[in-house]
Structure 1
Amino acid sequence: MGTKSKFFRAFVAGNTISDGRTITPEMIGEIVKNFNVATYTPRCNVEHVSGYSPEPPFNGYGSVIAVKSQIDDVEIGGKTEKRMALYCQVDGNDQLVGLADKDQKPFPSVELTDNYAGTSTIGLIGLAFTDRPASIATQALQFSRHAPGSVFGTAPEATALEFEAAPADAKGIADAIKGGFAAVAAMFTANAPKE
């Protein structure tokens, strides 16, 4: 089990920059509707490369564990627009946490399919972290097709991955306190005069 992030914005609806496609709020709705980790768990990677080996640097960096959508204010060309946005939450391993700590590969980039499980709807199949987002406006969409059936999109501003504190283990805390008292008692017992 890794470290759970807070929700962060992965992209917003609108026109793409390089290929002229448009991502609609309905498509984001399909992503949210189709998302279920029990059915398919999208994995996190770096630069859209999923390696064949569990060894770094192109091994898995964690999993997307939740998605949600909401309407956000987005500034584009000096004007503020209301846009549907997709937010993701990840359960990141130590490598992803390390990337976030070092401000490396800070930009999220979604990996989508346009025929999720044969439903002819959009689904999230992965999430990459990258240094080079393709979008030019704050969280404006940029999609590039790298493989048949895959759509990649990036957010142009760094998303600070903030991790939630792990819940305290009451039994572990109690055992640590008992162990501390036992160690102090042992110090006094070892130095006690013998009768």
Structure 2
Amino acid sequence: MSTKSKWFVVATEGATADGRNIERKWLEEMASNYDPKLYGARVNLEHFKGIFPDGDFKRLGDVLALKTEERDGKLRLLAQIEPTKDLIEMVKNKQKVYTSIEVNPNFADLNSAYLVGLAVTDDPASLGTEMLAFSAQAKQNPLAHRKQDKDNLFSEAIEFALELEEQEKESLLDKLKAMFTAKENSQQTEQQLYKTLEDVSTLLTEQIKQVQEKNENLTQQLNELSTANIELTQQLQALEQKITTLEKEPVEFNRPVITGAEKSMIETDC
């Protein structure tokens, strides 16, 4: 099952690319033109493209799709990649947490911009604004040997976070279909058939156990709600009883006896 990343920003309108600014038009063209079947951009280290599958500069994944979005008045290019286990481990260990795109402003027969590579790096300064400007002005561009085409541009490195999308769990039905399909494609011996049925039994047991656990949790929650409802009902009944009792009791009002004042007044009048 493939692992897809969540969308993350790889370039922003106006950012540096080999002494030039990334044009809004490029981002729009890269997003609309990108098709892995036409040309699939791969993830690499520091824009180096190794030729050995077990070498230090082997590929670290593929760019699956591109899209643009507006943020604070500037267009941004976002990518979704399928990283290798090596890249996932690198990022987990806080390595290679910056990205830089390689763009061809005039790709093949499209006559428009196209993303041809995505590099990850540890040191943003190695692909930062000053380094790219210096490289572009130098008589011999020190980054030229890393490019797939001399006219390609490297964007300045920006930080990214590699977050993976949650994968849908394979359903029991899908697992059963896969089992029987695999067995049907080869001659089944009695032992193989027994193993298939045993696997099916194990899957069913796991599913039943999960359902039972969910039912137990649901039953417990219902019991707790029922108990709380009973307690609330009892409290309401007690309150109603108290109100009824108070309503039946006669209201008596006794005027307090005035003492002292009247006698004093009489004595004063005399």
Instruction: Provide the TM-score with structure 2 as the length reference.
Output: 0.56
Cα deviation for residue 18 of structure 1 reads 6.6
Q: Give distance in 2, aligned partners of 1:17 and 1:29.
A: 16
Letter in structure 2 aligned against 1:90:
I
Q: Where does 1:1-195 land on structure 2 (aligned, <5 Å)? A: 2-16=2-16, 19=19, 21-73=20-72, 82-133=73-124, 134-135=127-128, 146-147=143-144, 148-156=150-158, 158-171=159-172, 178-179=201-202, 181=205
Cα deviation for residue 165 of structure 1 reads 2.0
Cα deviation for residue 104 of structure 1 reads 0.5
CA deviation vs aligned residue, 1:145-195 (integer Å, no higher than 9, x gap):
633122111343x2110001222111377787832749xxxxxxxxxxxxx
Q: Give distance in 1, aligned partners of 2:171 and 2:109.
A: 46
Q: Which has the higher Rg, Structure 1 or Structure 2? A: 2
**What is the CA RMSD across the aligned residues, in angstroms?**
2.6
Determine which structure has the larger helix proportion and give its number: 2
Q: Give distance in 2, aligned partners of 1:28 and 1:18.
A: 16
Change (3 A) 1:100 1:178: farther
Instruction: Provide the TM-score with structure 1 as the length reference.
Output: 0.75
The alignment of Structure 1 onto Structure 2 pairs a total of residues equal to: 167
Cα deviation for residue 122 of structure 1 reads 1.0
Letter in structure 1 aligned against 2:77:
L
Q: Give distance in 2, aligned partners of 1:68 and 1:18.
A: 22
Structure 1 stretches lacking a partner, 5+ long = 74-81, 137-141, 183-195
Determine which structure has the larger strand proportion and give its number: 1
Structure 2 stretches lacking a partner, 5+ long = 137-142, 145-149, 177-197, 207-270
Letter in structure 2 aligned against 1:5:
S
Q: Give distance in 1, aligned partners of 2:106 and 2:43.
A: 20
3-state SS of paired residue (2:108): helix
